[in-house]
A and B are shown apart, each in its own frame.
Chain A
Amino acid sequence: MLKIDNLFANVGDKEIIKGLSLEVKPGEVHAIMGPNGSGKSTLGHVLAGRPGYEATAGSVTFQGQDLLALESEVRARLGIFLAFQYPVEIPGVSNMEFLKASVDAVREHRGEEPLDTVNFVKRAREACKTVDLDQEFLKRGVNEGFSGGEKKRNELIQMMLLQPQLAIMDETDSGLDIDALQVVASAVNAMRSPERSFILVTHYQRLLDYIEPDFVHVLAGGRIVKSGGKDLALELEEKGYAWLEGAA
């Protein structure tokens, strides 16, 4: 589904990703861990096409297409979803209108008819229920005045409505209390399927108690320095990252 081959990427003038390779197959859940500044969030932004995050060498193919050549919105329509670490507030644009615009754009790309309003509202409300967010949030401006936890839940609502092929969760667990963490985990687990893949970027092993990954990778100095199964996360929890950073 996703193949990253020897990727180098800059943020502004600074090289952050330095020769990263990773393959994600359908249905797999990959966790990416690593110390601060290792390039975890940068990887997510490069995959989502954020301006100023520029791939300088290597390649990324998504379902056989050269991902880096595509505009951000086209990547989203093909099924890539990035849950932001810091979701953005959009003043004056209601959550409902935003979600509808998003879902309509993706459906249109797939050649599907736009959802009628009744059907759409029903789905949006169900998504709210799943992540335990009051439906009133659908009427408010996107993330406007939302708490950190509410913003993260709102990201999940978007993911549930868009039904992506590949979801990249950028520290969706950070700043969440244990109840919210379980809500996030059950929403992700409910979406796991043999066709859908996840990349979980996280600092803490804690999340992986609830979402069991197929692979765990350690990112340090802009590339993957160690890969393993879910037990690697436990080992990291115990030993920290220092013993691996030499390898970077």
Chain B
Amino acid sequence: MTDFMQQVVDETVAPVWLQDWQQQGRSFWQSAALPNRKTEAWRFTSVDALKQAFSSPSADFGSGVVPELPDLGGVRLVFVNGQYRPELSSKALPEGVTLVRFVDANENQAALIREKLGTAVKHEQHLFAALNAAALEDGLFLQVADNVSVKAPIQLVWSVTAQDRAFAVMQRLLVHMAANSNATLVEHFAGDPAETAVFSNGITELFLDAGAQLQHHRLHLEQGAAIHIGGVHARLSQDSNLESFHLAVGSELKRIDIVVDHQGQGAYCNLNGIYLVSNKDHVDYHTCLEHSVPQCTSSETFRGIVGDQASAVFNGRIHIHPHAQKTRAELRNNNLLTSNRAVINTKPELEIYADDVQCAHGATVAQLDPTILHYMRTRGISRAEAEVMMSYGFINELIRGLRCEPLREYLEPLLAQRLTPNSKLTRHIP
């Protein structure tokens, strides 16, 4: 590796009990090469935007303005440019829930974090997870105890705001759902339309013990020159249930890797995502559903709308290991191109080494259906409004499927507004 991101790495110091782990990350980062167009997993996504001087955020960046945040009715932690903002946060934790910053962790908590951190994604498995470790100053640890059910959503906000110089900020979340626990989690990456680059690298690890249930939502709403390269890495034990929802609106560059490993029999994952990309923005979702043991089920649907001169990548892999009999896995990716200069590269990838499985996959790329458009116009609806209603309809199924009602109510107008700022055209969208 060149001295790329070197300043950021040099300037950060993790808590003492994490420094050996951080050092491993640094060694790996510094010895590895940046991916290029010949790297298979990066064929359609360039990291050239990273080749500029990034610094670490200075303490005063933390006072940046935060976009309006939804009140989801539960505990909320807000970080601005890497700095914790207590006055925007509420920390009334329900019983049985631990939510602690790495810098505040006590000895017991530090031990729990060290036991799991970096095991769902190892440095050598993901270059940017190594960078995250190398430049990490703080992280968050969430633990829900055995048999504890948390009703109100737990909301974690990482907001970035452009400053007078390009800077990089690492976010790290470690979630441990103990046996038969149940919670709803919203990771909300927010940001103003930035003109100066902000590089975020958010790595989330989810551990679901036997029978645990987690509804996880990861919203990437950073805009403008914002860059985000990160991902979610989950391990599912026996009979655990992960509902995972992802959303990205376009910015300079977003690359999200999602890996869900079914490691216990009867584990279930429902993975859904939406990407809305316009201008010259770029969004790349790489997902991988690992089926390591028998009798697990996964269902995945990603839908994207790509317009203007924007580009998007979807790569969905299902990997069924030799002993993973009776696996049921399905994957769908549907894309709507709303301009003739928009680009989508989609690839479902199935690797199946077991012989008694049910597996289905499909990918589509289409434009708005002219027959439907005409039908709507014969009812007096203008072409422009019909196009917006049809586009929203294309993603609506996934939005309607959200069980977290306050989140749905927050996203509906926000997504409509992303399709067009003209409120007259969105007035008949829920």
Contacts and interface: CB of A to CB of B under 8 A. Distances in A.
Interface of A: 48-51, 71-73, 75-77, 81-82, 84, 87-94, 97-98, 100-102, 104-106, 109, 141, 158, 162
A50 B380 contact: no
Contacts of B430: 94, 97
A130 B377 CA distance: 25
Contact of B378 (A76, A91, A92, A100): A76
Interface of B: 370-372, 374-383, 385, 389-390, 392-397, 427-430
A125 B288 CA distance: 46
A98 B429 contact: no
A49 B378 contact: yes
Contacts of A162: 379-380
A211 B371 CA distance: 30
Contact of A90 (B376, B377, B383): B376
B390 A90 contact: yes
B371 A76 contact: no
B379 A158 contact: yes
A102 B381 CA distance: 5
Q: Which 10 A-B residue pairings sit nearest by Cβ, starting from the closest?
A: A92-B393, A92-B396, A105-B380, A101-B428, A76-B380, A102-B379, A72-B377, A93-B393, A88-B375, A73-B377
Contact of A141 (B380, B382, B393): B393
Given A72-B377, A73-B382, A106-B380, A101 B393 contact: no
B240 to A, nearest CB: 31
Contacts of A75: 378
Nearest to B396: A92
A71 B377 contact: yes
A51 B374 CA distance: 8
Given A51-B370, A84-B375, A92 B392 contact: yes
Given A97-B428, A101-B379, 13 more contacts: A49-B374, A72-B378, A73-B379, A73-B381, A73-B383, A90-B376, A92-B390, A93-B392, A98-B376, A98-B389, A98-B428, A104-B428, A105-B382
B389 A102 contact: no
Contact of B374 (A50, A91, A93): A50
17 contacts: A49-B377, A72-B374, A76-B378, A81-B378, A90-B375, A91-B397, A92-B392, A92-B393, A93-B389, A93-B393, A98-B376, A98-B428, A102-B376, A102-B379, A105-B382, A105-B385, A109-B380
The interface centre, meaning the residue of B372, B376, B383, B430 with most chain A CB atoms within 10 A of its CB, is: B376
B185 to A, nearest CB: 26
A109 to B, nearest CB: 7
A178 to B, nearest CB: 28
The interface centre, meaning the residue of A50, A71, A72 with most chain B CB atoms within 10 A of its CB, is: A72
A97 B429 contact: yes
A172 B428 CA distance: 28
A51 B256 CA distance: 41
A171 B402 CA distance: 40
Contacts of B393: 90-93, 141
B373 to A, nearest CB: 9
A48 B378 contact: yes
B372 A88 contact: yes
B378 A82 contact: yes
B366 to A, nearest CB: 12
Nearest to A106: B380
B17 to A, nearest CB: 49
B394 A91 contact: yes
Contacts of B380: 73, 76-77, 102, 105-106, 109, 162
A82 B374 CA distance: 12
A71 B382 CA distance: 9
Nearest to B389: A93
Contacts of B370: 51
Contacts of A87: 375
A93 B382 contact: no
A68 to B, nearest CB: 15
A94 B430 CA distance: 9
Contacts of B378: 48-50, 72-73, 75-76, 81-82, 84
